[in-house]
Amino acid sequence: MSEQPPAHIARLIRRLELTGTERILELGAAPGAAVAGIGPLLTGDGHITALDRSAVGVRRIRERNQALVDAGRVTVVQQDLTTLAPEPPGRFDLIFASNVNVFWTQPRKANVDALAALLRPGGRLRLFYGYGPGDGTDGVGGGRDTGSLVAAALRNCDALTAVIMDGASAPLEISAVRR
Ligand SMILES: C[S@@+](CC[C@H](N)C(=O)[O-])C[C@H]1O[C@@H](n2cnc3c(N)ncnc32)[C@H](O)[C@@H]1O
DSSP letter, residue 70: H
- Give 58 Cα–ligand 1 centroid separation in angstroms: 10
Distance of alpha carbon 161 from alpha carbon 141, whole angstroms: 23
Ligand 1, atom 3, residue with closest C-alpha:
99
- Residues flanking ligand 1, CB < 6 Å: 28, 30, 51-54, 57, 80-81, 98-100, 102
Separation between Cα atoms, residue 78 and residue 97, nearest integer Å: 15
Ligand 1 centre distance from Cα of residue 80 (Å)? 10
Please say if the pLDDT value at position 88 is more than 50: yes
Residue 137's pLDDT is what?
Answer: 55
Cα(79) to centroid of ligand 1, in Å?
11
C-alpha pair distances (Å), 135 with each of 44, 63, 140, 143 = 37, 27, 11, 10
Q: What is the pLDDT of residue 135?
A: 66
- What's the pLDDT score for residue 145? 84
H helix or E strand, kind and range, residue 39: none
C-alpha 96: how far from chain center: 2
Task: Say if residue 134's pLDDT is above 80.
Answer: no
Nearest-atom index, ligand 1, CA of 80: 20
Q: Rounded to the nearest whole angstrom, what is the distance from the C-alpha of residue 72 to the centroid of ligand 1?
A: 23
Domain boundaries of the chain, sorted by first residue: 7-178
Instruction: Domain 7-178: give its CATH code.
Output: 3.40.50.150
Cis amide linkage into residue 40, ω under 30° from 0: no
- Determine the average pLDDT of the residues in 89-100: 96
C-beta separation of 76 from 25 below 8 A: no
Section 50-78 average pLDDT: 98
Average pLDDT, rounded, for the chain? 92
Phi, psi of 171 (to 5 degrees): -70, 160
Nearest to 5 by CA among 29, 35, 43: 35
Under 8 Å between Cβ of 174 and 154: yes
